[in-house]
Structure 1
Amino acid sequence: MYAIEVEKLTKIYGKGETAVTAISDANFQVKPGELVAFLGPSGSGKTTILTCIGLINEPTRGKVVIDGTTVADSGWQNGIDLKRMRREKLGFIFQAHNLIPFLTAVENVMVALQINGVGRKEAQKRSAELLDALNLGHRLNNYPSALSGGESQRVAIARALANKPKVILADEPTAALDTENGKNVMALLKLLAVENHSAILVVTHDHRMVEGFDRIFQVSDGRIIGEHKNGDI
């Protein structure tokens, strides 16, 4: 079973003469354990792909299947609890780490678990283990203001992983980092994809950051214009 299946995904904003096609007829599948990039310039449509898969933007046309469940087929499917799907199946990592400033590192991760009904003691234990695995065991009780950019992004990654999602969506996760920290984050995502058997989709405009990816989709003017395997781009 694929973690993600997308067929003829199309998103159009507006109507009539003012209509803008952000993405047109996108087709792809992603297996569990794969790290896939959508590479293209700003405004090419790659973030729209991510928001449609992330159940944030309703597709105009096309089909989206997540972990075997059809969530969209020319619009959202009736009976699908989008909020629950997002909580249980998806993890999100953004360019800005979006940590809550008045919570410590471990508390920022705990929030994701407690929203899903995990008790405080278990949430704290699991969050501490995740942060320790990301080499942040010494930073559990630090607030975001005391963390470096790379450390803050690793806390955000831990938060995205907290509920063991089938799919992780990362929108320019290294844009605010220097090259070394950016490559470290991408290498970490690759490791986590394999270890957690999660499908990880990364949107980026930076060719330097896709080294080691399983597949790379090139996006331009709302269309996927090419697919490359690692080392071919």
Structure 2
Amino acid sequence: MEADTLAAAQNIDFSLFALFLRASFTVKLVMLILIAASFWSWAIIIQKHFDLRRAKTEARDFDQAFWSGEPLDAVFDRIGPEPRGGAARVFAAGMTEWRRSHRKDGGLIHGTQARIERAMNVAIGRESDMLTKGLTYLATVGSISPFVGLFGTVWGIKGAFEEIAMQQSTNLAVVAPGIAEALLATGLGLLAAIPAVVFYNKLSQDCDQVIGGYESFSDEFALILSRQLDRTAA
């Protein structure tokens, strides 16, 4: 009897695709959701990698141009009011407000320093939103995918016990397929969650580093303009 049971179990196809096809509709739906979530997570991870690399390169190039000794007005005229690169856009926001704050007689409108800093903070906020877009999705996938997979596993095991009751047998050929299908859902949940959590932490750190660079540049630029304002007031 035991030999017959082992022979029957050996004839069962335990490939991933076969396990998916034998799963119930609910478990299949859970698996498809997890697979889609995993693919979308990797799409975001790859896109964010290129976005951050480009942001770092543009910030480095602009930093070299800014500290090259060229007059700030000349730098602004060259890059324009809507340049490429986050640091350049922060600079453009400050310079735009600086120019708008000049009266026709050459004087400055009261509160220029505060308005320039506010304009740059708004620009930094926009850059931060652009850089961190999609990271919330990674955090969500990383936190809920194991539970979604566990739900699929619980549902699959329920189906396995129902099959045992209908077959009135607990031999390996009856039990093994249902348990394997159920555990596949947990595996897919972990497969989706682990990369999402790892890269969420990595990309969040990189975003904080880039945004911190924008904030440092904003402080340095505000300090330069502050000295210019003091000279103008004197």
Q: Same fold (TM over 0.5)?
A: no
Higher helix residue share: 2
Structure with more relative contact order (C-alpha pairs < 8 Å, separation 6 or more):
2
Higher strand residue share: 1
TM-score, normalized by length of structure 2? 0.21
Query: Radius of gyration: which is bigger?
Result: 2
TM-score, normalized by length of structure 1? 0.21
